[in-house]
A and B are shown apart, each in its own frame.
Chain A
Amino acid sequence: MCVKARVAPPACRGAGVAATSRMSALCVQWHRALLAVAARRRIRLPYAALAHLLGLLAGVLAAGSARAVDLPGDRADVMYHLYDGGGVRAHGPALLVRKSLLDKVSLSGTYYIDMVSNASIDVVTTASPFKERRTETGIGVDYVVRDSSITLSATSSEEPDYTADSANVDVSQEVFGGMTTVSLGYTRAQDKVGQRGTPGFIDSAKHWRYRFGVTQILTPRWLMSANFEAVSDEGFLGSPYRVARVFGAAVPERNPRTRTSRAVNFRVIGDLGSRDSGRAEYRYFWDTWNVRAHTAELGYSRYFGDLWLGDGYVRYYTQDRALFYSDNATAETIYISRNRQLSTFDSIAVGTKASYTAKRVPGKYEIKVNGALERVRFNFNDFTDIRSGEKYSFDATIMQVFVSATF
């Protein structure tokens, strides 16, 4: 979600303020009319309060008619991405195209390939290294009406032994004269899980995601946002290849078939006054598997001349293990996992991005060449490298190079 900090052209400035006054007047009129009806009919407290609420809601909706939200701009991105660390190398191209039609609808399409060569610690200690390819395609349509935008999108991801499909709907509404953007989103997803050597699929999983967010303009220089997301899963939520250790012996992992998680994220960004900005972010996550996680990020962006834009950031992440996670269990339990994604670990990442404007034709198009590089270190507190007997840790590099054109 991203707030739209609309800047009114000079000719519209007076109109904008006048429109806000008209909205307030309309709001008050509706409010009074509904309360009068409630009084005439001797409607009692909850109904009177409902009338009050409807009046205010009508005011908000009426307020919406005086402004208009812009569609996302037309653009095309071509990217090469790489992740390399912990014995896993995943790289490939990605593509995004977005085009608006009739100033009301914007269509988008994405295509993303991960070519994975996996020799991670799980794989080298319990199986054989392998290579595979994941392809993800996505389509979306954005529709704008008055101060609201509605996005419908769908994605489909295919691997040789795993398919995942999802459908998303996101709605956002500007209120209070464009000062606040409220957004709601819902995702329904379905996965099919296969296992190499077994024809067809062996199991499935369903996912439900509910999102709510608010972005608020605080001052002419500062913005903040708060996001909440709840995710529920049901079905096969592990890997058919991964093994756990019980009394030192390898056994297939056994995960619960349901999981519900919640996350809240607070972000703030401010203009620092020298063609630069700073941002801070904090997320807290908790779920029914007893995983608790904190994420904190600080970032800084700055223009260098007219053509260069640079960013730098530091991200710290820490989490506690799931209830049924064990490095080497000393008791038989219903559920058992040695998935290090569910272990106690922390990671620290340092990243930088640079953007160079290669061609700019004002009012027509702009072409930018971008690069991003992140170095991240993972430190696991209760996951042992059984080859050395030491606690496991590794470094990873994430790289992106992409060209983006806006037109």
Chain B
Amino acid sequence: MRTRQIPAAVSPALAAVLACTCLLAGCAVQPWVKPFERERLADPIMKFSRDALSAKHFEHIRDVREGSRGATGVQGGGCGCN
């Protein structure tokens, strides 16, 4: 009996499709925290960064003194200054 082989070129695409499918399958999941249960999450003390201008200043100071950069969540990100 012949077994069907998936061509090598298809398998990464198939893996990507399956991964996306798994992620998107979540659309059928009911939100387990309802909107009316999010009152505490809406409080300013629950924000990772409350003041954009202040965060930008700290980001700039660290960017020019450290070898690392990025993934801080500050929008736009970075400063191409020396």
Chain A contacts to B: CB under 8 angstroms: 1-3, 5-8, 10, 12-13, 16-17, 20, 23-24, 27-28, 45-46, 49-50, 52-53, 56-57, 59-60, 63, 77, 79, 81, 83, 94-96, 110, 112, 134, 136, 138, 140, 151, 153, 155, 157, 159, 162, 164-166, 168, 170, 175-180, 185, 187, 189-191, 193, 205, 207, 209, 211, 213, 217-221, 223, 225, 227-231, 239, 261-265, 267, 269, 271, 275-277, 279, 283, 285, 287, 289, 291, 293, 295, 301-303, 309, 317, 319, 322, 341-342, 347, 353, 370, 372, 374, 378, 398, 400, 402, 404
Complex alpha-carbon distance, A276 and B38, angstroms: 16
B33 adjacent to A24 (CB under 8 Å): no
A27 adjacent to B33 (CB under 8 Å): no
Sample of 11 further A-B pairs with CB below 8 A, known A2-B73, A7-B35, A162-B82 = A16-B35, A24-B30, A49-B18, A63-B27, A77-B51, A81-B57, A170-B76, A220-B38, A283-B71, A285-B69, A400-B57
Q: Separation in Å of the A185 CB from the closest CB of chain B?
A: 7
- In order of increasing CB-CB distance, the 9 nearest A-B pairs are A5-B41, A164-B80, A177-B31, A229-B70, A285-B68, A8-B35, A263-B71, A56-B24, A293-B68
Pick the contact of A283: B49, B51, B68 (CB < 8 A).
B68
Chain B contacts to A: CB under 8 angstroms: 10, 13-14, 17-18, 20-21, 24-49, 51-54, 56-58, 61-62, 64-73, 75-82
Pick the contact of A151: B29, B46, B75 (CB < 8 A).
B75
Q: Separation in Å of the B10 CB from the closest CB of chain A?
A: 6
Complex alpha-carbon distance, A112 and B55, angstroms: 13
Known: A187-B77, A263-B68, A404-B51. A221 touches B10 (CB 8 A): no
Q: Report 30 cross-chain contacts, Cβ distance below 8 Å, ordered by A residue.
A: A16-B34, A20-B30, A24-B30, A28-B28, A49-B21, A53-B21, A77-B51, A77-B53, A112-B56, A157-B79, A159-B82, A176-B31, A177-B31, A178-B35, A207-B78, A211-B70, A217-B38, A218-B33, A227-B72, A229-B70, A229-B77, A267-B48, A276-B45, A277-B46, A283-B68, A285-B67, A317-B62, A317-B66, A319-B67, A372-B54
Pick the contact of A17: B13, B20, B34, B79 (CB < 8 A).
B34
A319 adjacent to B27 (CB under 8 Å): no
Q: Which of B13, B44, B70 has the most CB of A within 10 A?
A: B70
Q: Separation in Å of the A368 CB from the closest CB of chain B?
A: 9
